Amino acid sequence: MTLHELPAPAEIVERTEESASIFTLHLRFVDPARQAAFRSSPGQFNMLGMHGVGEVPISISSDPDETGLIGHTIRAVGRVTHALATLRPGDRVGLRGPYGRGWPLQEAEGGDVVLVTGGLGCAPVVSVIDYIMRRRARFGRLVIIQGVKHAEDLIWRQRYEAWACAPDTQVWLAADVGGPHWAWDVGPVTVLLDHAEFDHSKAHALMCGPEPMMKAVAERLLADGMPPERVWLSMERNMHCAVGHCGHCQLGPLFVCRDGPVFPYPVLAPWLRHRSL
């Protein structure tokens, strides 16, 4: 008797230091057949296992069409992620996935895309930016909106500066608390929506970050005339199994691991209204 969801060993081929606590692991399944068969779409996640420590859900940050390596950008926050932070090229982890439903990038083609993230760098959305940049002609305007608490929380500053110079691309940044080298806005993310230029009737909004921020932005976009089913949120819940069995990721009737983590706003709206669901 075997279990479907047995992890497979994967090797760290490369490791990128993104900031003091954020790093990217570029992985390859040890079994070439498994690597060749791996297909994912942006917004999906893998369960990454540290031998003897545990498993955690981590979004796939690499481009799905580049089958060479699987990228995971991780912030070290606790037990498992701190252990993952110690890994170096040649080390091995257990990998199972991909799981969940990702961003609606095919539906978004032909229109503008508005990406809204809050908090410390949001890997699921950065992978979307890379994805669109590589297929630039298929999309309309790209609006990148990022809010941080403190000016010094912004990672990937050079990348934001480079994206800001790309054609048809707007970058709007805001910090709740600015600083001496902060040239952008100060205030909540929603103020940036005043500057952003895009066609509400044809755009898709994709967001990830703290729930109150996503809720506030979604409500603002709806008030500005965006159809609710074009507003997408990536949700985070405690996850153990990733296959809809363990019950940890439930939000109302939803299993975030299986039905999400990316959901259209109308599916989430009844549950986001209530605290502590």
Ligand X SMILES: Cc1cc2nc3c(=O)[nH]c(=O)nc-3n(C[C@H](O)[C@H](O)[C@H](O)COP(=O)(O)OP(=O)(O)OC[C@H]3O[C@@H](n4cnc5c(N)ncnc54)[C@H](O)[C@@H]3O)c2cc1C
Helix (H) or strand (E) holding 211: helix 211-223
Q: Judged by CB under 6 A, does residue 132 bind ligand FES?
A: no
Q: In angstroms, rounded to a whole number, what is the distance separating the alpha carbons of residues 212 and 229?
A: 19
Q: Which of residues 51-80 bind ligand FES (CB under 6 A)?
A: none
Q: Judged by CB under 6 A, does residue 77 bind ligand X?
A: yes
98: cis peptide before it, omega within 30°? yes
Kindly state the number of chain residues that form the binding site for ligand X, as judged by CB under 6 A.
21
Residue whose token pair is 């008797």: 1
**Residue 74 contact partner, candidates ligand FES, other proteins, ligand X, none, CB within 5 to 8 A by sort of partner:** ligand X
Q: Is 208 annotated as a binding residue?
A: no
Q: Is 257 annotated as a binding residue?
A: yes
Binding-site member from 19, 21, 190, 250 for other proteins (CB under 8 A): 250
Q: Judged by CB under 8 A, does residue 243 bind other proteins?
A: yes
Q: In angstroms, rounded to a whole number, what is the distance separating the alpha carbons of residues 214 and 173?
A: 15
**Residue 274 contact partner, candidates ligand X, ligand FES, other proteins, none, CB within 5 to 8 A by sort of partner:** other proteins
Pair 183, 171: CB distance under 8 Å: no
Closest CA to 259 of 102, 117, 97: 102
**Residue 123 contact partner, candidates ligand FES, ligand X, other proteins, none, CB within 5 to 8 A by sort of partner:** ligand X
Q: Which amino acid is at 86?
A: T
Binding-site member from 248, 264, 269, 271 for ligand FES (CB under 6 A): 248
Pair 56, 93: CB distance under 8 Å: no
Residues 6+ apart with CB under 8 A from 219: none
Binding-site entries for [2Fe-2S] cluster: 241, 246, 249, 257
Residues lying near ligand X in the complex (CB under 6 A):
45, 54, 56-59, 73-75, 77-81, 123, 236-240, 261
